[in-house]
């Protein structure tokens, strides 16, 4: 078994399912670094993971918004065709 290069961390992040959750988790990471519970490098690693999660959430939200716009356009187009 290869030697472990980094220490195991005992740091709990809150669930990250919304943009507000990303913000709360980021605050947790910053606070943990400030209190010395995480090193700056560990805080940066957590922040990179949170940035990835933020992008996933953003993409999901944009997909929902685009789908809603497309559905609205389809509904509007079908109503317009019926009137013509």
Q: What is the pLDDT of residues 18-57, one digit of tens each?
A: 999 999 999 999 999 999 999 999 999 999 999 999 999 9
* Cβ-proximal residues to 18 (8 Å cutoff; 6+ apart), any chain: 57
Query: How many Å apart are CA 77 and CA 83, to the nearest integer?
Result: 10
Domain-located, residue 44 = yes
Task: Work out how many domains the chain is built from and give that number.
Answer: 1
The answer to whether residue 9 is domain-embedded is no
Rounded to an integer, the average pLDDT of 13-18 is: 91
CA nearest 61: which of 20, 26, 25? 20
- Rounded Cα gap, residues 40 and 34, in angstroms: 9
In a domain, residue 48? The reply is: yes
Confidence of residue 74 (pLDDT cuts 50, 70, 90): confident
Domain assignment present for 66:
yes
| Enclosing domain of residue 56 | 19-83
Look at residue 58 and tell me if it is in a domain.
yes
**pLDDT given for residue 54 in this prediction:** 98
With a threshold of 0.85, does the pTM exceed it?
no
Place 14 in a pLDDT band, splitting at 50, 70 and 90.
confident
């Amino acid at each position: 078994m290869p030697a472990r290069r980094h220490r195991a961390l005992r740091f709990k992040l809150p669930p990250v399912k919304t943009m507000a959750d990303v913000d709360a988790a980021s605050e947790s990471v910053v606070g943990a670094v400030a209190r010395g519970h995480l090193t700056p490098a560990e805080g940066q690693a957590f922040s990179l993971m949170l940035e990835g999660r933020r992008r996933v959430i953003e993409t999901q939200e944009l997909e929902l918004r685009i789908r809603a716009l497309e559905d609205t356009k389809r509904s509007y187009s079908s109503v317009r065709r019926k009137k013509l």
